[in-house]
């Protein structure tokens, strides 16, 4: 259960009363108040026999009008992965999926190249190549949207090193649903070839950032970040190679948080419980 509300006295009391009345046992409870924006966030995992709609209704009635209440029963999320030519981030998700680590159905992998097809097919997951050749950006994305919308319900679109810039139309269609991995510790090295930028700047740390995609390239709400140390002996190719390990770990971590409904998005930031 996820609640987002304008903060006021007694919110925890109200929510816990309802849980008590519905005879629910709280397994875990996280709250956060953003004083600057006067926002209250709460995530509760509860156990008990209950009609979800009634629970939601009861919460809605008692909480301030401004509140957003999400009552979610645990079920597998549906995801579509987009990739281009690089294997490591996609491969890590496929292996985790195979190992049963991800509570998700991978509906398909969509790519603008066929390079990763044989890998994906090994795992009995549909691979759909939608080449961008001879298409303008609008047409190409139209085809991808069509492809995605053919699925009944898509919870998240994971950009596992999808190397094309998305248009505002695409981004708005799937707001807060597109998770991207950027190969730098944002906001450093926005844009193309961040490892080359990092090398040229002579940094001693490189990293990766998983974030929701919004209309400003590489400026969406950050979900997870990780870094590793490098030194003068790293060429930018070495940085790229080492960076791959960070990228795949960070993307998988962000995907896991999303799948487990642990993320709130507001004010271009995330609250993660």
Q: How near is the Cβ of 112 to a copy of itself at its closest, in Å?
A: 19
Interface ranges with a copy of itself (CB under 8 A): 9-10, 12-13, 16-17, 19-20, 23, 25-29, 31-36, 87-88, 91-92, 94-96, 98-99, 101, 119, 122-123, 185-189, 201-205, 207, 221-227, 231-233, 235, 241, 244-245, 249, 252, 267-272
Q: How near is the Cβ of 209 to a copy of itself at its closest, in Å?
A: 8
Nearer to a copy of itself, 132 or 262 (CB): 262
In whole angstroms, give the CA distance from residue 272 to residue 257: 8
- Cα–Cα–Cα angle for 63, 212, 135, nearest 5°? 130
218 catalytic? Reply is: yes
Nearer to a copy of itself, 74 or 133 (CB): 74
Q: Which of 7, 218, 231, 245 is catalytic?
A: 218
Q: How near is the Cβ of 103 to a copy of itself at its closest, in Å?
A: 12
Q: How near is the Cβ of 99 to a copy of itself at its closest, in Å?
A: 4
Half-sphere exposure of 189 (CA within 13 A, CB side): 21
Nearer to a copy of itself, 144 or 206 (CB): 206
- Catalytic residues, which ones? 218
């Amino acid at each position: 259960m996820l609640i987002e509300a304008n903060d006021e006295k007694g919110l925890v009391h109200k929510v816990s009363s309802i849980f008590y009345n519905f005879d629910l046992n709280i397994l875990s409870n996280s709250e956060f108040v953003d004083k600057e924006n006067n926002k209250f966030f709460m995530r509760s995992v509860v156990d008990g026999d209950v009609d979800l709609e009634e629970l939601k209704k009861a919460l809605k009635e008692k909480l301030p009008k401004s509140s957003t209440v999400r009552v979610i029963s645990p079920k597998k999320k549906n995801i579509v992965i987009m990739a281009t030519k690089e294997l490591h981030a996609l491969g890590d998700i496929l292996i985790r999926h195979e190992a049963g680590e991800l509570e998700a159905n991978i509906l398909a992998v969509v790519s603008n190249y066929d390079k990763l097809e044989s890998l994906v097919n090994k795992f009995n997951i549909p691979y759909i190549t939608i080449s961008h050749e001879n298409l303008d950006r609008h047409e190409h994305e139209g085809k991808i949207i069509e492809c995605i919308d053919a699925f009944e319900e898509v919870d998240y679109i994971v950009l596992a090193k999808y190397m094309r810039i998305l248009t505002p139309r695409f981004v708005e269609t799937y707001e807060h649903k597109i998770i991207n991995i950027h190969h730098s510790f944002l906001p450093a090295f926005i844009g193309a070839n961040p490892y080359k930028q990092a090398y040229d700047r002579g940094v001693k740390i490189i990293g990766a950032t998983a974030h929701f995609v919004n209309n400003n390239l590489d400026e969406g709400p950050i979900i997870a970040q990780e870094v590793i140390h490098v030194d003068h002996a790293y060429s930018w190719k070495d940085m790229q190679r080492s960076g791959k390990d960070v990228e795949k770990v960070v993307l998988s971590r962000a995907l896991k948080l999303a799948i487990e409904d642990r993320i709130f998005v507001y004010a271009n930031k995330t609250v993660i419980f």
